[in-house]
Amino acid sequence: MGSTETILVDRHEGIVTVTLNRPERKNAGNATMWRELLAVFGETAQRRDDRVLVLTGAGGAFCSGADIADPAGVGGAPADPHLYRMRLFGEAMLALHRLPQPTIAKIGGIAAGAGASIALQCDLTVAGAGARLSEIFSRRGLSVDGGSSWLLPRLVGLHRAKEIAFFADVLSAEEAAAYGLVNRVVPDDELDAFVDDWARRLAAGPPLALSLTKRLLNNGSVVSMAQALEDEARSQTVNFGTADTAEAMRAFAERREPTFEGR
């Protein structure tokens, strides 16, 4: 994509790093950010060379939420109906959720409100020890958004989800991990190296198989066991027809690491 105003995009060896870049506002999101994220997610979904996406924030914060001081609010123009403006934000979140590639949220500092929702939309979440997360919405007189009504019960169970959403407490990284919101908590000075290692491992993996696995897991809670087994069978049929699976079988027989090309 071309030049951007609110995000930074870096591509290196199959890893796409998207940095929310409004540090003066603790990376609070506005209409421009949602449009730019929607564009980069759409572009990444179509690029075979992009193997994994890492989402993070600049300046010591992940994302403090939607920028309520922005005249345009969550999205769109000030005169736009709230529903229209929220749908723009929703489109960006759905594009992140549907991204074929694995995604990692690298959480340093605060991730609150829409920022917490964005982080939780990622497939994997890694937080620095000093990170804090909050579904802050009720403190602002708002209900949850960004897909949190769908995500939270699946991540932590219904009762815990209600506790997190009703009270809007600010959770430490360790508390978030104990609740099941965060995969790993690492020392702040090790966060970059840890996420880089995970991203490199995913980038070296089989893109098609990982994409299919992601779709199966995302759909698993809304289909029957019979449908899940059928979906798995179809996915494996696709895998067995790929060059990557043939390469994996050769590498196993030859006792070496496979080289996956995504075909």
Q: What is the pLDDT of residues 78-97, one digit of tens each?
A: 677 788 878 999 999 999 99
Domain count of the chain? 2
Q: How far is CA 231 from the centre of its chain?
A: 24
180 and 54 part of one domain: yes
Q: What percent of the chain has pLDDT over 90?
A: 91
Q: Mean pLDDT over residues 60-64, rounded?
A: 97
pLDDT value at position 79?
A: 72
Has residue 261 been placed in a domain?
A: no
197 and 218 part of one domain: no
Q: pLDDT per residue over 148-181, tens digit each? A: 999 999 999 999 999 999 999 999 999 999 999 9
Has residue 260 been placed in a domain?
A: no
234 and 198 part of one domain: no
189 and 242 part of one domain: no
Q: What percent of the chain has pLDDT over 70?
A: 96
Q: Mean pLDDT over residues 100-110, rounded?
A: 98
78 and 23 part of one domain: yes
The three-state secondary structure class of 36 is helix
Q: Mean pLDDT over residues 229-250, rounded?
A: 97
Has residue 225 been placed in a domain?
A: yes
Residue 249 pLDDT exceeds 80: yes
Alpha helices (H) along 106-242? 114-121, 148-156, 158-167, 173-179, 191-203, 207-219, 225-240
Residue 70 pLDDT exceeds 80: no
Q: Mean pLDDT over residues 205-234, rounded?
A: 96
pLDDT value at position 71?
A: 62
Residue 2 pLDDT exceeds 80: no
Q: Mean pLDDT over residues 218-238, rounded?
A: 96
Q: pLDDT per residue over 7-60, tens digit each? A: 999 999 999 999 999 999 999 999 999 999 999 999 999 999 999 999 999 999
139 and 24 part of one domain: yes
Residues of the domain holding 237: 207-254
Provide the mean pLDDT of the chain.
95
pLDDT value at position 80?
A: 76
Q: Residue 79: phi, psi to the nearest 5? A: -85, -10
Q: Mean pLDDT over residues 196-211, rounded?
A: 98
Has residue 44 been placed in a domain?
A: yes
Between 210 and 70, where is the model more confident? 210
**Rounded to whole angstroms, how far apart are CA atoms 158 and 117?**
16
